[in-house]
Amino acid sequence: MNWSYILFILSIVITIICIVLFIVIPGFPLFILFFLPPIFCWSQKQQAESTSYSLPRCPVCGKFLLEPNEKYCPHCGEPLGRD
């Protein structure tokens, strides 16, 4: 289990406890904004996954190739110069 999932679950639990204590105990400080689920973990993970590897591009049209060892570009049909 990744640390971001553990942090997400923990922050949800703390937020729920803070809401319940705010309702039950009058004057309990409401720190919900500090414990909201960290959505930024998922955005950082998606950015990391998108740049973790790079797909080769066609030198003619610039689009991504579906397979790294293709001889012809599937988009424009130009040869890629690979033997």
CA distances 8 to 3, 34, 70, Å, are 9, 13, 41
Q: Which two tokens stand for residue 61?
A: 């049209």
pLDDT digits (tens, 9 = 90+) for 20-67: 888 888 777 766 555 555 555 555 555 555 555 677 888 888 888 877
Taking the model in full, what pTM does it have?
0.39
Q: Between 73 and 15, whose confidence is greater?
A: 73
The band of 81, judged by pLDDT with boundaries at 50, 70 and 90, is confident
Q: What is the pLDDT, as a whole number, of residue 37?
A: 54
